[in-house]
Amino acid sequence: MTPTRHEFRAGAQAGLPFILVIAPFGAVFGVVATEAGLDLAQVMGFSFLVIAGAAQFVALQMMVENAPVLIVLAASLAVNLRMAMYSAALAPHLGSLSFARRALVAYVLVDQTFAAASLRYEQTPPRTPTQKMAYFLGVAAPVVPVWYLATWAGAVLGSAVPPGLPIDFAVPITFLALIMPMLRSAAHVVAALVSIIGVLLFAFLPYNLGLLVAALLAMVAGAETERRMAAR
């Protein structure tokens, strides 16, 4: 097997457990969006064009409240501003690929693919940009199609999902599982703590902007800790 294929397979393997999260999350979106009054094409339009559960739910929630179109867009796009941070973090790894390839990676840039890839990219031995792309697309391979399928199933099959199950919590569990292995230096721990404290302190800001403020502070805290530890 070529190293590129090997990376794709390793990525797909890393992506498989995310199905556990993506499937219920997508199905719930399908159910809730259909109950809110969207037709099947609109529900699927969301999941094909946006592929971002949190932002889709924010948009839906505000649509149920009949907010003006521009306000719905501003609030749900604010939730996705973190994607620009992910994009910047990937640029040093994937920036030398052709524009078409970067454009493809951008389409499947979601929390899960980013987190799994950033874990992989810091491991040795260093991989080529093509191998890194293969890993990224490998993680996306099970995740993104299941997102479409689950949304469709939720929209069509309706509320066959038993009510009251804590499936919303599948999201924090996967992210915890991804974050814990990243905390391998004091600087990473400091960044995570600042992120947690920051998001609680800035929870009063509208449109989820508190998360962005907390994330920026956490990045500075992590980088500054790294610089001071290296200087010592």
Partner 1 sequence: MSYDAWHIWAIILGLGAGTYLLRLSFLGLIGSRPLPPWVLRHLRYTAVAVMPGLITPLILFPQATGGAPDPVRLGAALATIAISLWTRNVTLTIFGGATVLFGLHFALN
Ranges within 152-191 binding partner 1 (CB under 8 A): 164-166, 168-183, 187-188, 191
- For residue 125, is the peptide bond before it cis, meaning its omega torsion is within 30 degrees of 0? yes
Interface positions, 128-157, toward partner 1 (CB under 8 A): none
Q: CA 209, CA 201: separation in Å to the nearest integer?
A: 12
Interface positions, 186-215, toward partner 1 (CB under 8 A): 187-188, 191-196, 198-200, 203, 210-211, 214-215
For residues 61 to 90, the per-residue mask of contacts with partner 1, x marking binding by CB under 8 A and - elsewhere, is --xx-x--x--xx--xx--xxxxxxxxxxx
Q: CA 94, CA 87: separation in Å to the nearest integer?
A: 10
Q: Please, what is the minimum distance in Å from the beta carbon of residue 161 to partner 1?
A: 13
Q: Please, what is the minimum distance in Å from the beta carbon of residue 44 to partner 1?
A: 10
Interface positions, 89-108, toward partner 1 (CB under 8 A): 89-92, 94-96, 99, 102-103, 105-107
Provide the 10 A C-beta neighbour count for residue 229: 12
Q: Please, what is the minimum distance in Å from the beta carbon of residue 195 to partner 1?
A: 4
Number of residues binding to partner 1, judged by CB under 8 A? 102
Q: Which is nearer to partner 1, 160 or 196 (CB)?
A: 196
